[in-house]
Amino acid sequence: MKTEIGILGGGSWGTALATVLGNKGYAVDIWMRNKEQCMDMQESRENKKYLPKVKLSENINITTDIEKTIKGKVAVILAVPTHTVRMVLEANKDYFSDNQVIVNVAKGIENDTLERISEIVKDILPANKFVALSGPSHAEEVGVNDPTTVIAASTDEEAGKLIQDIFMTENFRVYTNNDVIGVELGGALKNVIALGAGISDGLEFGDNAKAALMNRGIFEMARLGVAMGANFNTFLGLSGIGDLIVTCTSMHSRNRRAGILIGEGLTVDEAIEKTGMVVEGIKTTKSAYELSKKYKVNMPITEEIYRLLYVGGDVKESVKSLMNRDKKSEMDDFLENELYK
């Protein structure tokens, strides 16, 4: 009997991961909210809206039956946007059993509670083991089997290794890590910096500006992470600098694309509409800004992006503000990081 896995959410990433698992021989159910899209995928064996031209294995079943998708599965993958995770779990918590591993692949922080997704899962399904799957991994490349490397993060070593074994293929390499806080924050916060990178591109700044933004951005991410209990070194790994690089430089990145549009003069709503998919970094910017105030962490890039998105600041004034802050030594950050070890 094939090992069965459920995926909640049939966007690009949920579909790409289903392809990895289906091609490996697992029996996969993907739950779709939209009945029309579900029927189209069943008939065409392709997610034309979010991941076109990637054919779905016969091992993949697309359904609108969420109970069937959850019940009896070894692992259930959360591939819905961050802001819907709590609602989906609350509405369907009775279908889960305590022995199932919950795997989250969304990258964000809940706005109202400022909770990471592992904390949301613990609120609703406290008995279940949790794994965060994160890293530099565009769905468009995973779907066509391009080499990709990610992190399976869990405080439970057995659960982390189980998900590592389930997902590992010749072209999809999985490392384990026990720093769930760092991996979750790296995946979420890099989207904020990627918006900034896109805005820089939209303003037609060059590589110098983007390199500086990415470098200073990783320090912002790490500062907040350490204040919240993460390991500084996690931000030097795949879910930190690795994911930051790919999200800030690729046109597959919806956060970068939305940033470009904002830099070119579109409003936030216009940029979201034109991008055509959920732009996690926009909501995450609000959470990151509020967390920086809560933990008293200096995050000037995040603060300027927050001002642009939520206060209505001027893009060029934000650049001027960042460039004309008080003088400091670069080594201040490195010296400070001695405390993080």
Which of 77, 80, 3, 63 lies closest to 29 in space, CA to CA? 63
**Could you give the residue numbers annotated as active site?**
190
Distances (CA, A) of 86 to 56, 190, 297, 328: 28, 22, 27, 42
Contact 19, 13 (CB under 8 A): no
Sheet strands side by side (includes 60-63)? 60-63, 27-31, 4-8, 75-78, 101-104, 129-134, 148-153, 172-177
Residue 259 Cα distances to 134, 201, 256, 263, angstroms: 22, 8, 5, 6
Helix, strand, coil % over all residues of the chain, rounded to 5:
55, 15, 30
CA-CA distance, 272 to 275, in Å (whole number)? Answer: 5
Within a 10 A sphere around the Cβ of 284, how many other Cβ atoms?
28
Instruction: State which H helix or E strand residue 198 sits in.
Output: helix 180-202
Run of H or E including 158: helix 157-167
Distance, C-alpha 70 to centroid of its chain: 22
How far apart are the C-alpha atoms of 196 and 191, rounded to whole Å? 9
| β-sheet bridge partners, residue 149 | 173
Q: CA-CA distance, 201 to 260, in Å (whole number)?
A: 6
Spatial separation of the C-alpha atoms in residues 150 and 152, rounded to whole Å = 7
